[in-house]
Structure 1
Amino acid sequence: MSTSSNLLRLQRAVNHQGKRAYHDLVTLPTKKPIISQGPPGYSAVTGHVVTVFGCTGFLGRYLVSKLARMGTQVVVPYRDEDEKRRLKPMGDLGQIVPMEWDLRNENQIAECVRHSDIVYNLVGRDYATKNFDFTSVQVDGAEKIARITAQSGVPRFVHVSHLNASATSPSALYRTKAEGEERVNAAFQGATIIRPGPLYGYEDKLLNNMAIWPIWWKLNNAKTTIRPVHVMDVAQALANLVHSPQLGRTIALPGPAALTYEYLLDLVSSLTYQPPSRAPVVPKALALLVARAAQSVWWPLISPDEIVRRYIDDADTPGAWDEVGVTPADIEQHAIQYVRRYRSAENFSRPNVFPPKKSFTEELGY
């Protein structure tokens, strides 16, 4: 083949890829170039390779969707084969890379992060089990992932904690979240800590549980105040960090309003058209006794630590949503999407609150 033919093919390939610009080239502290190309959207290429630990969880699956929609290649470590299958269609061909891993296997963790330029750690537990307690997951596990990420030369690490993380909290979950933050900061210099409030969405444990088990949300006379935040908003905030140069920050992402459980129960009742629950308020001692008995079940109804958390108000911390480029939505705007399915067949249709509109002739009196 002649030289002119090779040059012609090369020119066609360059024209097919599109023009380059200076803003398409990003150089990381490790001197690794990140080159974006293609039109914006699903088939784009951002040039970033991201690992999301905890990708099969509630928040993780939405984060993977946001990243893949931007054209980012996402490594999705998984434990359960069935859980990771839903992630595969979220990205273009070859953009979603599943890799089996175990929190106790450091070699698998290193393999999951070796090609990435940013790593997210979303791994956590709502209740302790005989195999994984709060400390092993949210303290030792978080430190292990951060340490191996630093040793692998990954320039950025994002650790998701909780808004109420505190070393002095009566809740073991909140205490281990705070300890995990300290261990992560010690293992990875310049780690970004994200503290979201309670999440709500399609598979949440907030609105769905209120519609099914309202009795457990009446603890503390339903006066506990929380700051719920939409899972989509938090996922978008995390996805925006891919293009953010900020390092070594602790960013709080609470909901836009502080609401009591009583208000949320009334909201769910008004959207499901179900009468408010008349169940009595369960004393804390009795609730703890029932929760401890439920620990013999593989999927406990409610854990003792969750009973403790029902009596703790969310921290009054100002949100830093401007730093992540997201405006959080009020829960009233989205709650109907997630609880409408709990309406019964008898009252699924909205009641006719307003009288029917009169026709033009009726308005004139004919």
Structure 2
Amino acid sequence: MSSQPPIHAVTGAFGYSGKYIAQRLLARGCAVRTLTNSPQRGNAFGEAITAYPFNFDRPDKLVEALRGVSVLYNTYWVRFNHRQFSHAQAVTNTLILFDVARRAGVERIVHVSITNPSAAPHLEYFAGKAELEQALIASGTSYAILRPAVLFGKEDVLINNIAWTLRRLPVFGVFGDGSYRIQPIYVDDLAELAVAQGAGRENVIVNAIGPETFTFRELVTTIGGIIGHERPVLSFPPRLAYWATRVVGLFVGDVFLTWEEVQGLMAGTLAVDAPPAGTTALTAWARQHADTLGRHYSSELARREDRRTAYRSN
């Protein structure tokens, strides 16, 4: 008599990074559940994944959704404050999630954080990530904390929208001198790392960075060259460049970038001195997708307002 496959739960399996984690788990023969705000969102999994609503306001329901789960992969977060969501609420909800996972008997939590979460305590994004790391460490549940800087892949926002801007504007402005570093990791490399960490029980914190390090100026120049839209990259006072992104945001009906993201980027929070955890080079991936990268704008708000349409590949 064959034993039942282990049950793993992934937050946001119908979204971006959670989708890649779920794909890898299914390929390993695991039973997969997802916790999601978008149970009706189109997806490629069909009946292979059972979807449960987050139910943060009904923790007992969340406990039942996680009952029998061995590993929880948490990608839940929000990029910025908005009238529909906030960092503070995301922190509160994640603390609820950690607690119900403990109550449900989940053996291990693989949690996606951010590089240098304590480096910018004055920034709500990083302060929230740091608070959640400490809460998970203190929870008594076995954990792996993954700290990516920026993700890239077919459904990504930042890298795609840099390319989108380069395709449409005659110049590209950077905040200050653009010398601050960034270490993007391929989303499926992050998923591979997450699933590998789900198999262990040792408490670990991993800097989940890719094999290439760029200054922000180099990143923009490199993407422009790969997609055939090299532009002059000009230095602007950070506030002025930020207000330019606000204008672009008004044009596309989205939050193109936040001032907090600008501050975090310029503070060097998206780079660490550590060996790479991913193997896929952004330059190689971008060359493979040069014809489509940046053809369409990726809207963060559109994804959150439309809970039915599957994420579009860039």
TM-score (normalizing by structure 2): 0.81
Higher alpha-carbon deviation: 228-237 or 105-114: 105-114
The residue number in structure 1 matching 2:237 is 283
1:208 paired with 2:160, answer yes
Aligned-pair CA distance for 1:69: 1.4
The question of whether the paired residues in 2 share the 8 Å contact of 1:113 and 1:149 is answered with: yes
Q: Does the residue aligned with 2:291 lie in a helix, a strand or coil?
A: helix
Structure 2 counterpart of 1:105, one-letter code: R
The question of whether the paired residues in 1 share the 8 Å contact of 2:109 and 2:141 is answered with: no
Counterpart CA distance in 2 for 1:131 and 1:339 is 34
Aligned-pair CA distance for 1:82: 4.0
1:224 paired with 2:163, answer no
Question: What CA deviation, in whole Å up to 9, does each residue of 1:286-342 have, x standing for no partner?
Answer: 3445667869x9632222212222313234231474xxxxx5222222112333225
Aligned-pair CA distance for 1:226: 0.7
1:105 paired with 2:53, answer no
Counterpart CA distance in 1 for 2:117 and 2:99 is 21
Q: Which has the larger radius of gyration?
A: 1
Q: 1:299 to 1:343 in 2, by over 3 A?
A: closer
Aligned-pair CA distance for 1:179: 1.1
1:116 paired with 2:69, answer yes
1:172 paired with 2:124, answer yes
User: Which runs of 5 or more structure 2 residues have no equivalent in the other structure?
Assistant: 296-314
User: Which runs of 5 or more structure 1 residues have no equivalent in the other structure?
Assistant: 1-13, 18-34, 37-46, 322-326, 345-366
The residue number in structure 1 matching 2:266 is 311
Q: Does the residue aligned with 1:218 lie in a helix, a strand or coil?
A: strand
The residue number in structure 2 matching 1:248 is 203
Counterpart CA distance in 1 for 2:34 and 2:294 is 36
The residue number in structure 1 matching 2:134 is 182
Aligned-pair CA distance for 1:70: 1.4
The residue number in structure 1 matching 2:214 is 259
1:302 paired with 2:257, answer yes
Q: 1:186 to 1:319 in 2, by over 3 A?
A: same
The question of whether the paired residues in 1 share the 8 Å contact of 2:36 and 2:53 is answered with: yes
Q: Does the residue aligned with 1:211 lie in a helix, a strand or coil?
A: helix
The residue number in structure 2 matching 1:51 is 9
Structure 2 counterpart of 1:86, one-letter code: N
Structure 1 counterpart of 2:9, one-letter code: T
The question of whether the paired residues in 1 share the 8 Å contact of 2:21 and 2:194 is answered with: yes
Q: 1:217 to 1:57 in 2, by over 3 A?
A: farther
The question of whether the paired residues in 2 share the 8 Å contact of 1:143 and 1:187 is answered with: no
1:198 paired with 2:140, answer no
Of 103, 106, 110 in structure 2, the residue corresponding to residue 154 of structure 1 is: 106
Counterpart CA distance in 2 for 1:107 and 1:87 is 29
1:133 paired with 2:86, answer yes
Counterpart CA distance in 2 for 1:136 and 1:59 is 21
TM-score (normalizing by structure 1): 0.71
The question of whether the paired residues in 2 share the 8 Å contact of 1:208 and 1:339 is answered with: no
Counterpart CA distance in 2 for 1:341 and 1:121 is 30
Aligned-pair CA distance for 1:222: 2.3
Aligned-pair CA distance for 1:141: 1.9
1:86 paired with 2:43, answer yes
How many residue pairs are counted as aligned between the two chains? 289
Q: 1:219 to 1:320 in 2, by over 3 A?
A: closer
Counterpart CA distance in 1 for 2:290 and 2:276 is 29
Percent identity, aligned pairs only? 20
Counterpart CA distance in 2 for 1:145 and 1:343 is 35
Aligned-pair CA distance for 1:167: 5.5
CA RMSD of aligned residues (A): 2.8
The question of whether the paired residues in 1 share the 8 Å contact of 2:178 and 2:216 is answered with: yes
